[in-house]
Amino acid sequence: MSSSFKHPQRFIISRMKSVGSSVFPFLFALHFSFLWATSAHPHQSFLHCLTLRSENSTSISKLIYTPANSSYSSVLQFSIQNPRFSTPATPKPLVILTPLHVSHIQAAIKCSLKHGTQIRVRSGGHDYEGLSYVSDVPFVIIDLINLRSISVHAKNRTSWVQAGATVGEVYYRIAEKSRTLGFPAGLCTTLGVGGHFSGGGYGTLLRKYGLAADNIIDAQLIDVKGRILDRESMGEDLFWAIRGGGGASFGIILAWKIKLVHVPSTVTVFKVNRNLEENATKLVYRWQYVAAKLHEDLFIRVILQSVYASQEGKRTIQASFNSLYLGGIDELLPMMQESFPELGLMREDCIEMSWIESTLYFFGFPIGESLDVLLNRTSLTRPRFKAKSDYVQEPIPEVGLEGIWKRFHEKEAESALLILTPYGGRMSEISESAIPFPHRAGNIYQIQHYVYWEEKETAASERHISWIRRFYGYMAPYVSKSPRAAYCNYRDLDIGANNNKGNTSYKRASIWGTKYFKSNFERLVHVKTMVDPANFFENEQSIPPFSSRWK
């Protein structure tokens, strides 16, 4: 497997070709054209209201984009990370606002309430189902790209980070102040922290320090009344809810105050690839027994994919064991020899570097790349994709793994991945109810199911989505049950869709809500009811208020 693959987006660069937009059915396009025509009045009324409420109408006019504006398309497209939701027939916002000041957001909330337009908030655009920039009702986007300041206080190990900043920018600014401080957030450096932190957020430090949301100590949020709230003024219930429950359900996150964590001056990374012909099945099976029991300083994930064998041109399955150790090679090698000797790790497999350099390594940048690439908000590539998630509590038997290999030989799986992320360590020590994210003790690892494709035809999308749904069905006996849990940051609109267990919106919500949050879902509903009883902050999988039980 090539060294470029440490993250799905980087890996697929080598396979991506020039792609265009999918074409949705004509009737859907016709429907949206009608919707646009009928929504022209609220569009104009919203803009008029926004200008009136702005302290400087000239200033805010430069931050507003409508379809009549020449920059509208480029602003909309810039943060769309999944082209599956960027087609001519995809519903578009009436207005995009890129605020420079909190007052711009407050005005947008008040005008949306007055004129019946829905708000979608975008910080990085990585949401898997496009919910931050697509809606089937008249809507506006508040794009936080300009609210991205980061202030790092190395002495007291804290930082205030505005919601529009990216994970890469956070890492970069921390490294400017200290090479022995870090933060346990994601591997994808273009993630916007507004949504990433509010849904949990994890990376290579999760076994040592938990999630990003576990390390948030304060926040700033604008509520439905336009008030700016911090931890003290919002209260502990709302502060609990936005750290793992998805901030978009409760208001608009402005900034997070995060607790920085210690990292050693030297860390070690390695990547060991093994094909089926090199005992991959038994290695993956054995990994399941050791990964969550390793020392908390050692993180070893596994990435499974179908690859071409080097000589014969036939496809095989490759398991890539990808690791970060918070220490040097001389400490790592005896630890691996004792805990996972089957992998056969050698000194030449290992590379020592700083922790900040490891963030580039895991996102797929070449060794020696300048740290400045962390400031780039543009993703390495933007494929059409569909993803799902699972949690594994008992090792999958070898026969179950062999069933995975069989399905990965299907045509649609040529660009499919399984990413197995180990738990244990700190993740097993934090209570399920400490924050809304409940997936703690008892989970050996998390699975991200991921399939992407380069064809632009709608039929290609349907084939690949159908494949991952069938594959997800195959995995049911091997993953968590009652509920079959899922990670809310890997949003999946298949969950609860057209489910016959109940015909009310609340009953549908309780299906995905229980999978994402388990018993914490009811507490999230309680908080939602307190702070947004009319459900102004709404999307297809936002937390519903209690009143929706009767709708």
DSSP per-residue string spanning 383-448: -EEEEEEEEESSPPPHHHHHHHHHHHTSGGGGGEEEEEEE--GGGGTS-TTSSS----TT--EEEE
490 as an active site residue: the answer is: yes
Amino acid at 267: V
| DSSP designation for 277 | G
Closest Cα to residue 277, out of 322, 323, 311, 302? 311
Please, what is the Cα angle at 396 between 391 and 397, to 5 degrees? 175
In a 3-state reduction of DSSP, which class is residue 341? helix
Closest Cα to residue 52, out of 109, 111, 114? 111
In a 3-state reduction of DSSP, which class is residue 541? coil
Intra-chain end-to-end CA distance of the chain, in Å: 52
The C-alpha atoms of residue 472 and residue 209 are separated, in whole angstroms, by 30
8 A C-beta contact, residue 72 and residue 116: no
8 A C-beta contact, residue 253 and residue 198: yes
The arrangement of strands across the sheet holding 216-222 comes to 150-153, 158-162, 252-259, 216-222, 228-229
Amino acid at 476: A
Q: Could you say which of 452, 490, 506, 516 is catalytic?
A: 490
The C-alpha atoms of residue 367 and residue 357 are separated, in whole angstroms, by 8
| DSSP designation for 235 | -
Q: For 146-215, where are the E strands, in sequence order?
A: 150-153, 158-162, 181-182
DSSP per-residue string spanning 283-297: HHHHHHHHTTTS-TT
8 A C-beta contact, residue 387 and residue 418: no
| DSSP designation for 347 | G
| Catalytically annotated residues | 490
